[in-house]
Chain A
Amino acid sequence: MNKGNILQGPMGLVLMIVSAIVALAAFGYAFMDLSSVGHRSFNTTSQIPWGQPIATYLYFALASSGLGMIAALSLVFGFKQFLPIAKRAIFLSFVILIAGMAVLAMELGHVFRMLWVIPLNMQIQSAMFWMGVFYIADLIFLLWKFQKMEGQEWDSKTSKQIGIASFLAVLLASGNLALIFGMMSMRPFWFDGLMPIYFYLTAVASGLAAVVFFTYLAYGFNRAAMPERTRAMFEGPMPKLFAAVLGGTVLFIAVRAVTGVYTNNPEISVVWREFLFASPVYQASLWLGIIAPFVIMMIAGLRSNPSMQVLVSMAVFAGLFAERYFFVVGGQVVPLFRGTWEWGLIQYTPSMTEWALTIMGSAMLFALFAAGERFLNLSDMPAEPAPEGATAAA
């Protein structure tokens, strides 16, 4: 166990208990509303059926996939510099997906019915069917891989095979999640064959934000308290990877925005002009949550600064949450038939119950993470191999 990890002390206990209380309170609030008046407590409508709870699920599910990909850097592709965060990334990937699924469960009309009607009816034409299959596979492989790490099986053949399977499950799950939106030709704002690439990129960005923030949190935002190899990772390869991924995200958003604004199709151009760019929240999330962090990470003098890394991780965390929200809602704001009472874009603001679900998922993540830091050694990593020269000399 690492002595610098403050979450293994009283701070961790406090964080775990407070987060659990917040999660339970938010769950209680949402549950009371849903059981008394049903989905009337949501502000979603038949015109905008998917609102903030779906955006929250999407955000968590993709952050989970991103964390799985980050773990694969060292566990599958052999980039040993990222080994110090591999175990934490796998654990975070697991718990953040659990949090996302909890939010989704509260959003559905009949969550328990889902457990038997999906396997009994085998609708293999539906991307949502495959979402269930791939994310369950993802959960199983993440858990299995974590169990191998707990048993100090970092390099065994089985452990490597499970790592590869986990990585493939992550790719399939997040790619398929992208296609749930990307295959909807009747929703032109989403309809895009490259949507999986966009989701992979932003998944890694949100995964990096998560692993940077939670690693710093574990060490009391004090890099000096981190193990040497973890410190070296934060001083070298991690900020460079973060810069590259944020750069890719900026590029992808720019390309989508340029084509979106340029097209005559109002179901795309109006969304960009009058829903996204017209919103101060979207503007703030874009400039402060994605572009500014990219600029900071590009400046050599700033990207290694611990405070900047924490600031960037928090900004990207918030920025990408907004990105998911505007993505999900943006695909629905243009009425399918502008008629009768729909003269403008369809209005949607999340209700208190919907916010409660977002808070519930976030607090669950913090509580489970604090529990993980307390009861499992998430900072664990295999011993550094001896330098090649030393082996030869011996």
Chain B
Amino acid sequence: MTKWGMVIDLDKCTGCQACTTACAMENNTLPGENWQDVLYYSEGSYPTAKLTWLPRPCMQCENPSCVAVCPTKATYKDMDAGGIVFVDWNKCIGCKYCMIACPYGVRFYADEKPVVEPDVRDVFPGEGQLHAPPYQGPDSDSVRGIGIQPKGVVSKCTFCYHKVSKAPEGVADLDEDNPETKEFTPACVRTCPPKARYFGDLDNPESEVNRLIADQRGVRLKDHTGNRPQVYYLGSGADVPAYQSPKKT
């Protein structure tokens, strides 16, 4: 059975945020509600200061803590869909417990104060939708949290399931450089200028993602949580520094 996974090579990532922008465009998210974001960290001081960055999509965990806490089974892990974690917008009651339980902070309750002004919801008000921008993606699947989200529900990255699900059966990798799989590759992977992202089947020993994880010692973020992400990082920079009080830095 397919198990979709992502590999992000931090030594190649330039922190350009093209992935963030592509995700927002592909999924019609509200400005600032970044299902995929790049976080920046600075440590040390001149002349030995260090700047690192970390692209952060939903980890689509093998053992997702967000699923067990959901009182309505609105959040679920679909093994038939490559192990992607979805939110069923028809079942979500907006209790936000999944947001509390996610160790990675990749769930969004967009029914909040605007992160970016002007508030797009006032510019393009929608009936039944949180906002109704003039361009809307053609794919919509409220059971999987795909499309423009309605009010009062939680949303998250779907690994662009509306694209991935159309990939040829049994394919090992979805590569933007391969004309046969380009259209089915998640937006963040397809748009990455330095090709720092790879997407493929973690259950297929022949896949490029598995080879990279094995050869370059892929690591998972916050592995101690036991959530076992399906997103792996290569290179330096996945050792995210713990929170430190600004008073001490």
Taken residue by residue from 55 to 81, chain B's Cβ proximity to chain A (1 for < 8 Å, 0 otherwise) reads as 010000000010011111110000000
Q: How distant is B32 from chain A, measured CB to nearest CB, in Å?
A: 9
B101 touches A110 (CB 8 A): no
With the chains together, A184 CA to B242 CA distance in Å? 18
B100 touches A50 (CB 8 A): yes
Tell me the chain B residues, 203-249 only, with Cβ under 8 Å from chain A: 225, 240-247
Tell me the chain A residues, 212-239 only, with Cβ under 8 Å from chain B: none
Task: Kindly specify which of A120-128, A153-161, A249-257, A284-292 makes contact with the partner chain.
Answer: A120-128
Give the 4 A-B residue pairs with the shortest CB-CB distance, closest first.
A109-B94, A109-B152, A339-B39, A186-B103
Which among B100, B108, B109 is the interface contact of A39 at CB below 8 angstroms?
Answer: B109
- Contacts between the two chains (Cβ within 8 Å), count: 145
A128 touches B100 (CB 8 A): no
Residues of chain A with a CB closer than 8 A to B225's CB: 185-186
Closest to B119 in A: A40
B100 touches A187 (CB 8 A): yes
Tell me the chain A residues, 56-113 only, with Cβ under 8 Å from chain B: 108-111, 113
A337 touches B109 (CB 8 A): no
* A39-B152, A46-B112, A109-B111 as given contacts; A186 in contact with B96, CB under 8 Å: no
Does chain B have a CB within 8 A of A49? yes
Does chain A have a CB within 8 A of B12? no
A interface: dominant SS: loop
A339 touches B111 (CB 8 A): no
Which among A38, A42, A125 is the interface contact of B68 at CB below 8 angstroms?
Answer: A125
Does chain B have a CB within 8 A of A335? yes
B39 touches A340 (CB 8 A): yes
Residues of chain A with a CB closer than 8 A to B69's CB: 125-128
B99 touches A49 (CB 8 A): yes
10 new A-B contacts at CB < 8 Å, known A108-B93, A335-B105, A339-B39: A40-B114, A40-B119, A42-B112, A109-B92, A109-B111, A117-B93, A132-B71, A337-B39, A337-B240, A340-B37
Closest to A41 in B: B113
Does chain B have a CB within 8 A of A114? yes
With the chains together, A180 CA to B100 CA distance in Å? 10
With the chains together, A42 CA to B65 CA distance in Å? 26
Can you pick out 15 interface pairs between chain A and chain B where the beta carbons lie within 8 Å of each other?
A39-B152, A40-B111, A46-B108, A47-B105, A109-B95, A109-B111, A117-B72, A123-B73, A125-B69, A126-B69, A128-B70, A338-B243, A339-B240, A340-B37, A344-B245
Tell me the chain A residues, 118-147 only, with Cβ under 8 Å from chain B: 118, 121, 123, 125-129, 131-132
Does chain B have a CB within 8 A of A334? yes
Does chain B have a CB within 8 A of A166? no
Residues of chain B with a CB closer than 8 A to A39's CB: 94, 109, 111-112, 152
With the chains together, A184 CA to B95 CA distance in Å? 15
B interface: dominant SS: loop
Does chain A have a CB within 8 A of B33? yes
Residues of chain B with a CB closer than 8 A to A108's CB: 93-95, 152
Q: How distant is A270 from chain B, measured CB to nearest CB, in Å?
A: 5
Closest to A265 in B: B242
B243 touches A109 (CB 8 A): no
A118 touches B72 (CB 8 A): yes
Residues of chain A with a CB closer than 8 A to B92's CB: 109-110
With the chains together, A121 CA to B65 CA distance in Å? 18
With the chains together, A319 CA to B94 CA distance in Å? 29
Q: Of A38, A45, A123, A128, which is in contact with the most chain B CB atoms at under 10 Å from its CB?
A: A123
Tell me the chain A residues, 329-376 only, with Cβ under 8 Å from chain B: 331-332, 334-340, 343-344
Tell me the B residues contacting A by CB distance below 8 Å: 33, 37-41, 54, 56, 65, 68-74, 91-97, 99-105, 107-114, 119, 121, 151-153, 225, 240-247
Residues of chain A with a CB closer than 8 A to B121's CB: 40
With the chains together, A348 CA to B167 CA distance in Å? 44
Does chain B have a CB within 8 A of A267? yes
Which among B70, B105, B112, B113 is the interface contact of A337 at CB below 8 angstroms?
Answer: B105
Does chain B have a CB within 8 A of A388? no
Q: How distant is B137 from chain A, measured CB to nearest CB, in Å?
A: 22
With the chains together, A126 CA to B100 CA distance in Å? 13
A332 touches B56 (CB 8 A): no
With the chains together, A340 CA to B54 CA distance in Å? 10
Does chain B have a CB within 8 A of A5? no
Q: How distant is B212 from chain A, measured CB to nearest CB, in Å?
A: 23
With the chains together, A123 CA to B66 CA distance in Å? 12
Q: How distant is A329 from chain B, measured CB to nearest CB, in Å?
A: 12
A337 touches B54 (CB 8 A): yes
With the chains together, A132 CA to B70 CA distance in Å? 13
Tell me the chain A residues, 9-48 only, with Cβ under 8 Å from chain B: 38-40, 42-47
Q: How distant is B91 from chain A, measured CB to nearest CB, in Å?
A: 5
B112 touches A126 (CB 8 A): no
With the chains together, A188 CA to B225 CA distance in Å? 11
